[in-house]
């Protein structure tokens, strides 16, 4: 009996506690994690002495003065404003340094006029998510959009309404090397992703201190894909199921006759939750499908357990591994389903490249025809065929 025939004879049900070993590598949509803090220095000012610096110098009676206001990035496309404190410090040699920092201390700019330099520090790690995201968006504007950087101060006029006064700080964009700029883009993408999770699930996940935890990053990407589309195709290394003695005997007989045992699996999970950088995100019920898995528990292990004369209620753990790198399809009931139109679009792309219909490709894949080995991303193509079938049944 062929492996494919074996796979078709049973659809196995199981539960969350039976399933282990899933590597949650989602089908696209992932984010990367650079460290949550950075420092850069740039020769960025249009002039070494700005009107604000002059005004502070005229008004200051001490070596240090602070003014509450807001930094404004004024560009043709957008105007972004972040409340900031401005601190001006005069050194013993009468050189002026002006610093701007927000209340949450997620971003600060320090302008050293004698050196004609601006030092920028960002610190998103474990900061309130909305404050960190606001700063990251503001920083993106500073680095990429032509315009002006202004400092706005509200002043009271005797006998009248408060009015705003604007001082120009410098010209935008502030130049930054492309590798550094890409790191900042990655930080912004991560914060946008965390904010998306918060809006959809109510769970605030702050920028992590440990950016090297691959498992947590994998969980983050998995959660993102789930809430965006309701479907995730993940890689699986191995997993286990627990069965009673009668089924162990049946599998043992099949293993002795055929030399291997293969099954298709269906898992109904009543509730899935993932830890993402210290916070638990609940995704609700799900269904998991795996088209082809091979039993890896040895005959000796199964026979040894049966020789112990287990009770009827005793169960035995069996190990399985996917065949042909088959992915695990996970569908979440509480989140938007994958669009059938988007799956069809990807299938048409494969058909256009390889000039073969998806139906013909599926037939060749299941029969193990030799030309299939020449198809790059064949697993992805087969995954999409399966996803289309599932989505068509539910529509």
Residue 378 is predicted with a pLDDT of 84
Neighbours of 392 (CB within 10 A): 11
Spell out the domain ranges in the chain. Answer: 3-31+212-338, 37-195
Average pLDDT (27-35) is 63
Residue 395 is predicted with a pLDDT of 56
Question: Mind listing the pLDDT tens digit for each residue in 162-178?
Answer: 888 888 888 888 887 88
Could you tell me the pLDDT band of residue 254, with boundaries at 50, 70 and 90? very high
Question: Mind listing the pLDDT tens digit for each residue in 363-389?
Answer: 999 888 888 887 877 888 888 888 888
Q: Tokens 């030309």 map to which residue?
A: 371
The proportion of the chain whose per-residue pLDDT surpasses 90, expressed as a percent, equals: 31
Min mean pLDDT across 56-60, 101-105, 325-329, 348-352 is at: 56-60
Residue 15 is predicted with a pLDDT of 53
Chain centroid offset of residue 321 CA: 27
Residue 39 is predicted with a pLDDT of 78
Residues pairing with 202 in the sheet: none
- Report which of 103, 145, 112 is spatially closest to residue 45, judged by C-alpha positions: 112
Residue 17 is predicted with a pLDDT of 55
How many Cα atoms within 13 Å fall on the side-chain side of residue 118?
25
Residue 112 is predicted with a pLDDT of 81
**Is pLDDT of 189 > 50?**
yes
Question: Distance between CA 43 and CA 115 in Å, rounded?
Answer: 9
Could you tell me the pLDDT band of residue 220, with boundaries at 50, 70 and 90? very high
Residue 133 is predicted with a pLDDT of 92
Q: Who wins on pLDDT, 230 or 38?
A: 230
- Report which of 48, 35, 159 is spatially closest to residue 96, judged by C-alpha positions: 48
Average pLDDT along the chain: 81
Question: Mind listing the pLDDT tens digit for each residue in 99-129?
Answer: 999 999 999 998 887 777 788 899 999 999 9
DSSP per position, 92-158: TT--EEEEEE-TT-SEEEEEETTTTEEEEEEE-BTS-HHHHHHHHHHHHHHHH--EEEEEEEEE--T
Distances (CA, A) of 63 to 25, 58, 91, 118: 56, 12, 7, 20
The proportion of the chain whose per-residue pLDDT surpasses 70, expressed as a percent, equals: 83
Residue 18 is predicted with a pLDDT of 56
Residue 174 is predicted with a pLDDT of 85
Question: Mind listing the pLDDT tens digit for each residue in 205-216?
Answer: 999 998 888 888
End-to-end CA distance of the chain: 35
Q: Tokens 């700005």 map to which residue?
A: 50
Q: Tokens 């569908």 map to which residue?
A: 331
Could you tell me the pLDDT band of residue 51, with boundaries at 50, 70 and 90? very low
Residue 384 is predicted with a pLDDT of 85
Structure tokens at 214: 């691959």
Average pLDDT (278-305) is 93
Min mean pLDDT across 29-38, 145-154, 238-247, 272-281 is at: 29-38
**Is pLDDT of 6 > 50?**
no
């Amino acid at each position: 009996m062929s492996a494919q025939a074996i796979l078709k004879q049973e659809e196995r049900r199981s539960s969350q506690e039976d399933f282990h070993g899933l590597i949650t590598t989602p089908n696209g949509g992932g984010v990367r994690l650079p460290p949550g803090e950075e420092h850069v220095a740039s020769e960025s000012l249009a002039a070494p002495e700005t009107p604000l610096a002059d005004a502070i110098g005229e008004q200051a009676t001490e070596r240090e003065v602070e003014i509450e206001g807001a930094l404004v990035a004024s560009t043709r496309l957008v105007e972004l404003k972040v409340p900031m404190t401005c601190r001006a410090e005069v050194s013993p040699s009468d050189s002026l340094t002006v610093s701007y920092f927000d209340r949450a201390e997620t971003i600060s700019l320090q302008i050293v006029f004698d050196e004609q330099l601006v030092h920028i520090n960002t610190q998103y790690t474990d900061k309130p998510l909305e404050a960190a995201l606001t700063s990251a968006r503001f920083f993106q504007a500073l680095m990429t959009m032509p315009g002006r950087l202004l400092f706005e101060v509200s002043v009271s006029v005797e006998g009248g309404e408060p009015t705003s006064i604007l001082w120009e700080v410098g010209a935008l964009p502030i130049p930054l090397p492309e590798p550094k700029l890409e790191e900042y883009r990655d930080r912004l993408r991560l914060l946008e992703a965390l904010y998306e999770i918060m809006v959809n699930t109510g769970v605030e996940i702050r920028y992590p201190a440990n950016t090297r935890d691959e498992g947590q990053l994998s969980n983050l990407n998995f959660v993102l894909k789930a809430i965006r589309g309701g479907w995730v195709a993940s890689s699986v290394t191995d997993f286990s199921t627990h069965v009673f003695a009668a089924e162990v005997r049946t599998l043992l007989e099949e293993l002795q006759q055929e030399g291997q045992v293969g099954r298709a699996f269906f898992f109904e999970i009543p509730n899935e939750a993932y830890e993402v950088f210290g916070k638990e995100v609940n995704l609700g019920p799900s269904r998991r499908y795996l088209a082809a898995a091979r039993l890896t528990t040895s005959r000796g292990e199964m026979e040894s357990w049966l020789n112990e004369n287990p009770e009827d209620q005793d169960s035995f753990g069996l190990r399985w591994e996917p065949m042909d790198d088959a992915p695990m399809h996970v569908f979440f009931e509480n989140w938007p389903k994958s669009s059938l139109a988007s799956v069809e679009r990807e299938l048409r792309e494969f058909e256009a490249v390889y000039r073969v219909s998806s139906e013909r490709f599926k037939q060749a894949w299941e029969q193990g025809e030799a030309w299939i080995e020449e198809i790059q991303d064949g697993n992805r193509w087969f995954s999409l065929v399966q996803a289309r079938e599932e989505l068509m049944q539910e529509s």
